[in-house]
Structure 1
Amino acid sequence: MSVYRTFYSRLLLNYLAGLLVAALSVASLITFTLQDIAYDECVWLIAIMLFSMLIMLGLEWAVFTRQIRPIRLAFYESIDSFVTMQTIYLRTHLLPMLIVKRILGPHLFGLALPAAGLTIWLIYTGQLSISPYYVLLALLGGFLLAGMHALIEFYLTSYYIRPVLEELQLRSLHLFGRELTLGGRVLIPLKRKLRWSLFLIGASPLLLYSLAVQLRLGDWNINHYAYWKWAGIVLLLGLGFSFFASRLLTRELETPIQYLYRRMTEVRSGCLQMEASDLFSDEFSRLVSGFNHMLLGVRIQADRNDQLVESYFATLAAALDARDPYTAGHSLRVAEYAVQIGTLARLPKQVVDQLRKTALLHDIGKIGIRDAVLLKEGKLSEQEWEQIKAHPVLGEVILRQVEPADEMAAYLPGIRSHHERYDGEGYPDGLKGEEIPLFGRIIAVADAFDAMTSDRPYRKGMDADTAISILQEGKGTQWDPYFVGLFVEAYHRKQMREQTRKQTS
C-alpha cells in the first residue's frame, strides 16, 4: 500500500506544481503585458481564467481518476487472474503517455477553448476593448505551456512508475507464480520520445520570447513589418535548428541501441562467434564491451554444454557396446558411415550432427533386452526374435525420458525407424518409401553395411565388396536407393583411388 500511496501523492504534487507554474506564467503575462487596460476589464479576464481553469481541473480530475483506477485496483482489491495483472502492468507502463494526453486534452477543451470563446464574446459585446489578436497569442502561449508541462510530467511519471512496476512483479510472483513481462513490445518508441522532447526543449524558449515581445509591441500593424522581417527569419532558423538537431541527436542515440539489438537477435538465433564491433566513443562503448564479455561467457558455457552432450551420447553408445564384446565399436562405425552419407547428400551441417548423434544411439533400446537373448550365439526362437525387434521402440521410450524433451525430439524418429524397409516390410511400423524418416533411411544403410562386415560368434564378417553388392541388390526394396547409391559410389571412388595409388607407388 505504501508504494501506491507514495506514487499517488507524487503524481498529485507534480501536477499541482506544474499547474502553479503555468498559472503564475499566465498571471505574469497579464500583469506585465496588459498593464494599460482598465480595471474592470482585468476583472473580466481574471474571472474568465478562473472559470476556465475550474473546467480544466474538473476534466483533468475525471480523466486522472479513470487512468489511475486499474493501478489502484491492484493494490486495494484482489486480483483473480494473471491476465488481469498483466493488463494492469501494461497500463502502468502506458501511464506516462496517458498523462501527456490527460494534460493536453483538458488544456485544450477545458482551458484554451472556453477562455478564448468567452474572451471573444466579451470583445464582441463591448465588455473588453482588447484586440482579438491577443486572444490568438494567448492561445499559442497556452498550447506552448501545456506542451512544456506535459513534457515534464511525462519524464517524472516514467521515473515514479518504476517502484510500482517492481511491486506488481512481486505480487504476480506471489499470487500466480508467473513473471510479468512486455515480451519485447515497444510501447513508447525512443525515437518519438527523444525527438519531441528535444524539439520542445529547443523551441520553447524561442517561441515564448517571440510571443512575449509581440505582446509588448501591441497589435499587428504595418509599423512592425521591419521587426517581423528579421524576427521571422530568426524564428524560422531557430525552429529549424531545433527540429533538425533533435533528429540528429535522436539518431545518434538510436543507432547504437539498434546495433546492439541486432546483435542480440543474432545471438538468440545461435550465432555466438561474431562479437559486437566497438563503433562508439561514448558510454555505449562500455555497453559494447559488456555485451562482448557476456557473449564470451555464453560461448564458454555453450562449449561446455556441447561437450557434456557429446560425452552423454558417447557414454551411452559405449555402455551399449560394452554389453557385447563382439559388437564393440558398432555404434561409432554406424555413426561414421551415416555422417559420410549425410555429407554426400549435402545435408546442412547441423542436420549431419543430429544424424551422427542419432546413429550413435540407434541401438540404445537393446539395453532393455535380457543378456540371454541379446548375447545368444545360436539361432533365436520366434519369441526371442520378437524381443530383439522391439529395441527400436524401446530406444525411443528410453530417450523420451531425457530432458529437455525438445532437445531429444530430433533424434527419436531415426531411432524408431532404422529397421524399416523401403518396400514397407520392415518394423516396427511397416513404413514405406519416404514415409520412413530421413535419419531412419540413412542409418538403415550404414547399420546394414557394418553388420555385414563385422564378425559375430556364429559367423565371420563378409568382405566389403560383397556387402556393397548386397546393398546394390537391395536398392529400392530393403534400402533407400538414393542413399545406397551415394554410399556405393563413394566406396567405388575410394577403391579406385587406392588402386591408382598402388599402381603409382
Structure 2
Amino acid sequence: MQIYRKFLRDLLRNYIMGSGIAVLVVGGVIISTTLSISNTELFRLFFILVSSLCVMMLAEFMMFRRHIRPIRDMLRETQPALATIRAAYLQTHRFPALSVMRIMGPHFLGLSIPAVAMASIGIARGWLSLPAYYIGLAGVGAILIASMHALLEFFTTVQAIQPMLIHIRELGKRMYGEDVSLDGRVIVSIQRKFQLSAFLIGTMPLFLFSLATQIRLSSSEASSSLTVDYWKWAAIILLLGVGFSSLGARMLARDIQQPIEDLHRVMKEVQSGDLKVRASDLYSDEFSRLIAGFNHMVKGLDAREKMNNQLLQSYYTTLAAALDARDAYTAGHSTRVAKYSLMIGRAVNLNEQELDWLNKTALLHDIGKIGVRDAVLLKDGRLTDEEFEQIKRHPDLGESILKQIEPAEAMAPLLPGVRSHHERYDGAGYPDGLKGQDIPLNGRIIAVADAFDAMTSDRPYRKGMPVEKAIAILAEGKGTQWDPRFVQGFIDAFKI
C-alpha cells in the first residue's frame, strides 16, 4: 500500500497547489486589488470564500472516493483477479480526465453555489456594500478560476499517475504474465487536449483582466459613459483574443496530430507485415528524430526478417538434402519436386505467400521417410505388400514429425500438403482416400511434380523414362490420378 499512499500524497499536493494558485491567489488578488471596500467587508468576503471552499472540498472528496475505489480495491486484495487489475489500470489512465470532471462539477458548483447564496444574503442584509450584479461577475470569475484549476490539475495528474501505472503493469506481469495496456484506446485525444489548453491559456488573462477592470471601474467614481466605452473596446479585444486563441489552438493541435497520425498509419502497415514501408520525414522538430528512429527500427526488422527467411529456407533445404542423402539414387529428389511444384504454382497464378508455402511443403513432402527402415526404403527389388504398407505410412509420419516443430503456426500451412501428396484425384490414393477438390491444393500440385520426378529419375532397377513419355503419362492421368488443371499447368510451363 506504500505506492497507494504515495499516489494519494501526490494527488493531494497537486490539488492543494492547484486550488491555491487558482482560487486563493488569483481570486484573492482580484478581490483585494480591485474592490474598494473596508477591511471588515474584505474579511467577510474571505469568510465567504473559505466557507465555500469547505463545502467544495467535501463535495469533491465524496466524488474522489468513488473515482479512486477501483484502484484502492485492487491494491487491498492479496490476489486480485486479472479483470480487477485491468479495471484499475483503465481507471488510473482516466484520472486526469476525471480530475477535470471533479473540478468542473462538485468543485465549481460546491464553491459557487454557497458563495453566491452567502453573498446574496450579505448584500440583502447590508453586510456587504456591493452591487447585486457583482454576483453575476463573480459567477463568471468562478468559471474562469475553475477552468484554470482544471488545466493545472489535468497536467499535474498526468505526471502523478505514472508510478501507479507502472506498478499495476508489473502486478499483471508478475501474477498472470499479462502485459496490461490500453491496446491503443484513446482516453483524451491530443486534438482536444491541445485545443482546450491553448484556448484557455490564450483567453484566460484577457477575461480575468476585463473582469477585474470592470470591477475596478464600477467601484471607482468613473462615469457610466466611460464604462460603456471601456466595454466597447474590451469586447473588440476579447473577440480578437478569443479568435486568435481558437485559431492558434487549432493549428497547434493539427501540427501535433498530423505526424502522429502519419506514424500510426505506417505502424499499421508494419503490423500487417509490410517491412518495406517507411514514414515520410516531413517535419523539422522533434518528430524528425522520432520518425528517423522508427524508420531505422523498421529497416532493422526488415534486415532481420530477410536473414530469418534465409535461415529458414536453408533449414528446409538442408533437411530435404539430409533426407535424400539416405539414398544415392534419390539425391536431389526433394529439391527437384520443389522446383517443379513452383513451376505449376506460377502457371496457375498462386500468390507469393502461397508459393512460399508450396516450396517449403515440397521440400519436406517426404520427411516421413525418416521413419521407414533402410531395409525397406533402400530395397532394390520389388516391395512386398507389407513393405509397401510401411512406405505408405510416410505421409502420416511426415505430418506427425512436422507437428513437433515449434512454433506450431509456422508449420501449420505445410501439414496438409505433406499428408496428402499421395492422394489420387479419383480417390484411390492414400493415406485418407480423399477425392478431387477435397485433396488440399498443395497435395494435388506436389503429386504431379513428385510423379514426374519419379518417372524421369534413374533407379537401381530401372532407367528413368524420357521426359516426353512422362509428360504423356501425366496427360493420360488427368482427372484420374492427378488434378487436370495442375497437370496442364505443368505441361504448359515445361514447354516454355
Q: What residue identity is the alignment partner of 1:16?
A: I
* Helix, strand or coil at the partner of 1:409: helix
Corresponding pairs, count:
492
- 1:12-161 matches, within 5 Å, as 12-21=12-21, 22-36=23-37, 39=40, 45-120=45-120, 130-161=130-161
Report the Cα distance in structure 1 between the residues aligned to 2:477 and 2:121, rounded to whole angstroms.
Answer: 101
- 1:222-233 matches, within 5 Å, as 224-233=227-236
* Helix, strand or coil at the partner of 1:411: helix
Deviation of residue 441 (structure 1)? 1.0
Which string of whole-angstrom CA distances, capped at 9 and with x for unpartnered residues, describes residues 146-204 of structure 1? 11111111111111211122222233333333322222222222221111111111111
Q: What residue identity is the alignment partner of 1:135?
A: I
- 1:160-309 matches, within 5 Å, as 160-218=160-218, 224-309=227-312
Deviation of residue 72 (structure 1)? 3.0
Report the Cα distance in structure 2 between the residues aligned to 1:314 and 1:176, rounded to whole angstroms.
Answer: 40
- 1:317-356 matches, within 5 Å, as 317-356=320-359
Report the Cα distance in structure 2 between the residues aligned to 1:178 and 1:393, rounded to whole angstroms.
Answer: 37
Contact conserved, 1:414 with 1:438, CA < 8 A, in 2? yes
Which string of whole-angstrom CA distances, capped at 9 and with x for unpartnered residues, describes residues 367-418 of structure 1? 1100111111212111111111111111010001111111111111111111
- 1:436-475 matches, within 5 Å, as 436-475=439-478
> Which residue does the alignment assign to 2:492?
489
Report the Cα distance in structure 1 between the residues aligned to 2:257 and 2:28, rounded to whole angstroms.
Answer: 40
Tell which deviates more after alignment, 79-88 or 206-215. Answer: 79-88
Report the Cα distance in structure 1 between the residues aligned to 2:19 and 2:488, rounded to whole angstroms.
Answer: 84
* Helix, strand or coil at the partner of 1:80: coil
After TM superposition, the score normalised by the length of structure 1 is 0.92
Contact conserved, 2:269 with 2:277, CA < 8 A, in 1? no
Q: What residue identity is the alignment partner of 2:33?
A: F
Q: What residue identity is the alignment partner of 1:113?
A: I
Report the Cα distance in structure 1 between the residues aligned to 2:17 and 2:145, rounded to whole angstroms.
Answer: 13
Residue 424 to residue 213, structure 1, CA distance change in 2 (3 Å): same
* Helix, strand or coil at the partner of 1:78: coil
Contact conserved, 1:334 with 1:359, CA < 8 A, in 2? yes
Contact conserved, 1:415 with 1:440, CA < 8 A, in 2? yes
Report the Cα distance in structure 1 between the residues aligned to 2:247 and 2:93, rounded to whole angstroms.
Answer: 29
Tell which deviates more after alignment, 334-343 or 180-189. Answer: 180-189
Deviation of residue 222 (structure 1)? 5.9
Deviation of residue 230 (structure 1)? 2.3
Report the Cα distance in structure 1 between the residues aligned to 2:352 and 2:439, rounded to whole angstroms.
Answer: 21
Which string of whole-angstrom CA distances, capped at 9 and with x for unpartnered residues, describes residues 60-94 of structure 1? 11122222233233444423322211211121111
Deviation of residue 437 (structure 1)? 0.9
Report the Cα distance in structure 2 between the residues aligned to 1:103 and 1:449, rounded to whole angstroms.
Answer: 80
Tell which deviates more after alignment, 61-70 or 212-221. Answer: 212-221
* Helix, strand or coil at the partner of 1:479: coil
Report the Cα distance in structure 2 between the residues aligned to 1:31 and 1:95, rounded to whole angstroms.
Answer: 34
Unaligned runs of 5+ in 2: none
Contact conserved, 1:103 with 1:150, CA < 8 A, in 2? yes
- 1:425-436 matches, within 5 Å, as 425-436=428-439
Report the Cα distance in structure 1 between the residues aligned to 2:187 and 2:147, rounded to whole angstroms.
Answer: 20
Tell which deviates more after alignment, 297-306 or 360-369. Answer: 297-306
Which string of whole-angstrom CA distances, capped at 9 and with x for unpartnered residues, describes residues 236-257 of structure 1? 1111111110111111112122
For 2:395, which of 380, 392, 396 is the aligned residue?
Answer: 392
Report the Cα distance in structure 2 between the residues aligned to 1:345 and 1:355, rounded to whole angstroms.
Answer: 13
Deviation of residue 118 (structure 1)? 4.5
> Which residue does the alignment assign to 1:11?
11
* Helix, strand or coil at the partner of 2:355: helix
Contact conserved, 2:423 with 2:433, CA < 8 A, in 1? yes
> Which residue does the alignment assign to 2:479?
476
Contact conserved, 2:426 with 2:480, CA < 8 A, in 1? yes
Contact conserved, 1:341 with 1:483, CA < 8 A, in 2? yes
Which string of whole-angstrom CA distances, capped at 9 and with x for unpartnered residues, describes residues 404-443 of structure 1? 1111111111111111111111111111111111111111
Which string of whole-angstrom CA distances, capped at 9 and with x for unpartnered residues, describes residues 441-468 of structure 1? 1111111111111111222111111111
> Which residue does the alignment assign to 1:500?
none
* Helix, strand or coil at the partner of 2:353: helix
* Helix, strand or coil at the partner of 2:110: helix
Contact conserved, 2:427 with 2:435, CA < 8 A, in 1? yes
Deviation of residue 117 (structure 1)? 4.1
Residue 405 of structure 1 pairs with residue 395 of structure 2: no
Report the Cα distance in structure 1 between the residues aligned to 2:125 and 2:396, rounded to whole angstroms.
Answer: 96
Report the Cα distance in structure 1 between the residues aligned to 2:431 and 2:217, rounded to whole angstroms.
Answer: 97
Residue 221 to residue 347, structure 1, CA distance change in 2 (3 Å): farther
Which string of whole-angstrom CA distances, capped at 9 and with x for unpartnered residues, describes residues 96-144 of structure 1? 1111111111133211233334444665677766334222211111111
Contact conserved, 1:418 with 1:439, CA < 8 A, in 2? yes
Report the Cα distance in structure 2 between the residues aligned to 1:398 and 1:432, rounded to whole angstroms.
Answer: 25
Contact conserved, 1:344 with 1:486, CA < 8 A, in 2? yes
Which string of whole-angstrom CA distances, capped at 9 and with x for unpartnered residues, describes residues 199-231 of structure 1? 111111111111111112229966533222222
Which string of whole-angstrom CA distances, capped at 9 and with x for unpartnered residues, describes residues 276-317 of structure 1? 232111111111221222222212211221111011100110
> RMSD of the TM alignment (CA)?
2.1
Contact conserved, 1:256 with 1:284, CA < 8 A, in 2? yes
* Helix, strand or coil at the partner of 1:336: helix
Which string of whole-angstrom CA distances, capped at 9 and with x for unpartnered residues, describes residues 5-58 of structure 1? 22221211221222223123323333333324795x656644543432222111
Tell which deviates more after alignment, 331-340 or 214-223. Answer: 214-223
Report the Cα distance in structure 1 between the residues aligned to 2:38 and 2:406, rounded to whole angstroms.
Answer: 84
Report the Cα distance in structure 1 between the residues aligned to 2:236 and 2:482, rounded to whole angstroms.
Answer: 85
Contact conserved, 1:79 with 1:85, CA < 8 A, in 2? no
After TM superposition, the score normalised by the length of structure 2 is 0.93
Residue 74 to residue 223, structure 1, CA distance change in 2 (3 Å): same
Report the Cα distance in structure 1 between the residues aligned to 2:280 and 2:20, rounded to whole angstroms.
Answer: 49
